Amino acid sequence: MDLKLGGKTVLITGAGSGMGQHMAVGFASEGAKIAVNDIDPKGVAETIAQVKAAGGQAYDATADITDLGNVKDMIAATESALGGIDILINNAALLTEHTLYLETDPEACAREIAVILFGTMHCSRAVLPGMIERGAGKIINIATDAARVGQEREANYSAAKGGVISFTKSLAKEVGRHNVNVNVVSPGATNSPMRIGLQEEMRKKLGDERWKEREQKVMRMYPLRRIGEMEDITNTVMFIASDAARQITGQVLSVNGGFAMVG
């Protein structure tokens, strides 16, 4: 299926590494123009190099999305360079701690909420006037199934992502009349750098044998008997961003191998 993404301007937050970087290259391979956002200039430069290597056009959109003023400046500069933003992917996130809630640092909690929830809201606020004026636009927010079913040792992260889900549904009702679609893609366990890093810590803590036993037990919880790969998320996001998904808005699409089947 030709998703007809060629020539579209796509802004991806948190695109300096991991899932965001993978999505940037994926959209670029379809002919889209990519605005690469991250707070890390080195990560942005690396992603831009990968986008160009894939034959795409990229723009440096380095900014702190927790600051609304910075976001508005970034959006204005991006649209001046690439044209109106057709697709916004709110992907930026951080998991500062993997511990029980009462043992978490309140400042770290505030930082996670600032990046995940307020970052999503700031970027949406800044791009929507242009989308409404043009009568078209796609906003895809990346959540997590931990926000849908709960996850021990990720209470702060899950709470922030849960806010993103609620924000998505409310916003979709407000802007649908302007032909703007707002949806959530909600990954389950995915072999992203974040998960790989957590697994390495777990391996060191448990030892190889106990870690392998734990992983086998985890795998049995997935009907498809596999952990997701980043391409599974990228492919889903590109579909939701295309006109093939024009009748889908206000929805949460889990990409989780059947781990959680939430109604």
Q: Which residues are catalytic?
A: 157
Question: Which residues are CB-neighbours of 62 under 8 A, at least 6 positions away?
Answer: 37, 38, 39, 40, 41, 44, 74
Of 174, 87, 209, the C-alpha closest to 136 is 87
182/151 Cα distance (integer angstroms):
25
Of 141, 128, 142, the C-alpha closest to 188 is 142
Question: Which residues are CB-neighbours of 128 under 8 A, at least 6 positions away?
Answer: 137, 139, 175, 180
177/169 Cα distance (integer angstroms):
14
236/16 Cα distance (integer angstroms):
20
Helix axes 119-134, 155-175, angle to 10 degrees: 20
Rg of the Cα trace of the chain?
Answer: 18
Of 4, 29, 131, 20, the C-alpha closest to 79 is 131
Question: Which residues are CB-neighbours of 48 under 8 A, at least 6 positions away?
Answer: 36, 58, 59, 60
At residue 137, what are phi and psi to the nearest 5 degrees? Answer: 170, 155
